Amino acid sequence: MRIQAIRGVKDIMPDEIEKWRWVENKANQVFNRYGFNEIRLPIFEKTKLFSRGIGETTDIVEKEMYTFEDRSGEMVTLRPEGTASAVRAFIEHKMYTAQTVQKFYYLGPMFRYERPQAGRFRQFYQIGVEAMGSHNPSIDAEVMIMLLEFFNVIGLKQFELQINSLGCNKCRPEYRETLKKSITNHLVDLCENCNIRYQKNPLRVLDCKIERDIEIASGFPKITDYICNECKCHFEKVQSLLRETQIPYIINPNLVRGLDYYSHTAFEVTSRELGAQNAICGGGRYNTLVEEFGGPPTPCFGFALGLERLISLIPFNDIKSIEKNPDIFVVSLGEDAKSIVFNLVHQLRSGGLSVERDYEEGSMKSQMRKANKSASLFALIVGENEIKSGNYQLKNMRDGKQSSITAASCVEKIKTLINSKV
Ligand SMILES: [Zn+2]
Ligand SMILES: [Zn+2]
């Protein structure tokens, strides 16, 4: 019986994982500089956390959640996104008592039951960032700037920051009605999905990815013409901060995000390599969610970033530091070498070197072939003659030069040699 992975999930193989680690480390470095530290949240939660947090009428909650009853009869769900858990943790650990903005990020798998298609996975990875506890437009600008800096650091090019204001609880309802009226006249021309959205959340019609609908939507009233003074001030301040720091952006009045909880600033970063419809990252302000979950009023700003897509866009050829070849490949020949090589490898590794060997203990030729394939810097040859003479052979795999190295001091010598190369 051969059991295969579940449809829509994939293994990240060892030869890919260096890229992942590299990107994760860069995220950590950049985010730390802005005062964001990692938080590890559970990957499953009570189902009602997501149905209430994300919104009962969203696609995620209606169709995409992995929900099951556990052995005690409780309904639990594999997290489809991270913000709901972040808000829960914020309240549960009384992080609001800190009196300063709480800034953290998380990283890990999310789960959505989506129709399998290229580049979409049912288990996918996200980096999420949340800043909780301030309504200051500086937070909006700073978090977006941090994101763009992260993109620069990882060598991503050709991206574009799009921003919009989604208004607030005071001004959005009026816009919603105005928009709904305008949509009414075009319902027959709009796609089936938009007809459903029109009923549940007309703003999402603006979000449709179908060419003809985009065309029609461009004629609808713009939210930025309807937001209240307070929202307008906030939005203008965010923009002036971006201009001040020379961050290019464009205003996209049709950018609404898929989730119900956003207000004020919403943003997406799109990549020209993926086409304008494809956001690599999106987020915005959510000022009421903490309160809805029973916490004190806490304005927040955050974003989430899909790692699969991001990693596919990075030109890793330019990045030397992700090479992960062993320093030394130990080649051993003969019975005496067998008893020596295990401890020798151990000592080299304990000395901080990365060491590979041939566990099959094949012929000289086959071991050298493996050494070549491993792309190690050196091969250390330990054969019968070498053991007798007390001198091992060290072969530089780049230029082919070979030299003798005293067995007793070989660990120290190789360490010095390799450290001088780095
Ligand atoms: Zn408003
Ligand atoms: Zn549509």
What is the arithmetic mean of pLDDT over 34-44? 96
Which segment, 60-64, 67-71, 195-199, 322-326, is predicted with the most confidence on average? Answer: 67-71
What is the arithmetic mean of pLDDT over 268-293? 86
How many whole angstroms separate alpha carbon 26 and alpha carbon 322?
12
Ligand located closest to 195 CA: 2
Instruction: Give the pLDDT confidence of 165-208 residue by residue, as tens digits.
Output: 999 989 999 999 999 999 999 999 999 989 988 988 888 899 88
Ligand located closest to 216 CA: 2
Q: Is the pLDDT of residue 321 over 80?
A: no
What's the gap in Å between 19 CA and the centre of ligand 2? Answer: 36
Q: Could you tell me what percent of the chain has a pLDDT over 90?
A: 69
Ligand located closest to 194 CA: 2
What's the gap in Å between 168 CA and the centre of ligand 1? Answer: 4
Q: Is the pLDDT of residue 154 over 60?
A: yes
Q: What is the pLDDT of residue 297?
A: 95
What's the gap in Å between 119 CA and the centre of ligand 2? Answer: 22
What's the gap in Å between 263 CA and the centre of ligand 2? Answer: 23
Ligand located closest to 232 CA: 1
What is the arithmetic mean of pLDDT over 260-275? 85
Q: Is the pLDDT of residue 318 over 70?
A: no
How many whole angstroms separate alpha carbon 281 and alpha carbon 116?
20
Backbone angles phi, psi at 253, to 5 degrees: -70, -10
Q: What is the pLDDT of residue 259?
A: 67
pTM for this structure?
Answer: 0.86
Ligand located closest to 186 CA: 2
Q: What is the pLDDT of residue 422?
A: 58
Q: How would you list the strands of the sheet with 391-396, edge to edge? A: 355-357, 328-332, 378-382, 391-396, 402-406
Q: What is the pLDDT of residue 239?
A: 97
What's the gap in Å between 288 CA and the centre of ligand 1? Answer: 13
Q: What is the pLDDT of residue 136?
A: 96
Instruction: Give the pLDDT confidence of 99-116 residue by residue, as tens digits.
Output: 899 999 999 999 999 887
What's the gap in Å between 180 CA and the centre of ligand 2? Answer: 14
Q: What is the pLDDT of residue 289?
A: 92
As a whole number, the mean pLDDT across the chain is 91
What's the gap in Å between 202 CA and the centre of ligand 1? Answer: 18
Amino acid at 412: E
What's the gap in Å between 142 CA and the centre of ligand 1? Answer: 21
Q: What is the pLDDT of residue 117?
A: 76
Q: What is the pLDDT of residue 323?
A: 61
Q: What is the pLDDT of residue 421?
A: 66
Band (1; pLDDT cuts 50, 70, 90): confident
- The mean-pLDDT minimum among 190-199, 249-258, 314-323 falls in 314-323
How many whole angstroms separate alpha carbon 28 and alpha carbon 150?
9
Q: What is the pLDDT of residue 28?
A: 96
Instruction: Give the pLDDT confidence of 15-29 residue by residue, as tens digits.
Output: 888 899 999 999 999
Band (230; pLDDT cuts 50, 70, 90): very high
Ligand located closest to 171 CA: 1
How many whole angstroms separate alpha carbon 284 and alpha carbon 141?
10
What's the gap in Å between 190 CA and the centre of ligand 2? Answer: 5
What's the gap in Å between 301 CA and the centre of ligand 2? Answer: 28
Cα-Cα-Cα-Cα torsion 315, 318, 319, 325, nearest 10 degrees, comes to 110
Q: What is the pLDDT of residue 324?
A: 72
What's the gap in Å between 182 CA and the centre of ligand 2? Answer: 15
Report the relative pairing of strands 250-251 and 159-165 from DSSP bridges. Answer: parallel
What's the gap in Å between 233 CA and the centre of ligand 1? Answer: 10
Instruction: Give the pLDDT confidence of 329-381 residue by residue, as tens digits.
Output: 999 999 888 888 999 999 999 888 999 999 988 899 999 999 999 999 999 99
Q: Is the pLDDT of residue 241 over 80?
A: yes
CB 190 within 8 A of CB 213: yes
Ligand located closest to 210 CA: 2
Q: Is the pLDDT of residue 275 over 80?
A: no
Element (H, E) at 192: helix 192-200
What's the gap in Å between 230 CA and the centre of ligand 1? Answer: 6
Q: What is the pLDDT of residue 157?
A: 82
What is the arithmetic mean of pLDDT over 261-270? 92
Strands (E), 24-152: 37-38, 44-46, 66-69, 75-78, 102-111, 123-132
Burial class for 247, CB neighbours closer than 10 Å (0-12, 13-18, 19+): middle
What's the gap in Å between 12 CA and the centre of ligand 2? Answer: 34
What's the gap in Å between 205 CA and the centre of ligand 2? Answer: 6
What's the gap in Å between 215 CA and the centre of ligand 2? Answer: 10
Strand partners, 284: 266, 302
What's the gap in Å between 118 CA and the centre of ligand 2? Answer: 21
Q: Is the pLDDT of residue 266 over 80?
A: yes
- The mean-pLDDT minimum among 85-94, 299-308, 322-331 falls in 322-331
Ligand located closest to 207 CA: 2
Band (322; pLDDT cuts 50, 70, 90): low
What's the gap in Å between 282 CA and the centre of ligand 2? Answer: 20
What's the gap in Å between 166 CA and the centre of ligand 1? Answer: 8
Q: Is the pLDDT of residue 258 over 70?
A: no
Q: What is the pLDDT of residue 150?
A: 96
Strand partners, 282: 268, 304
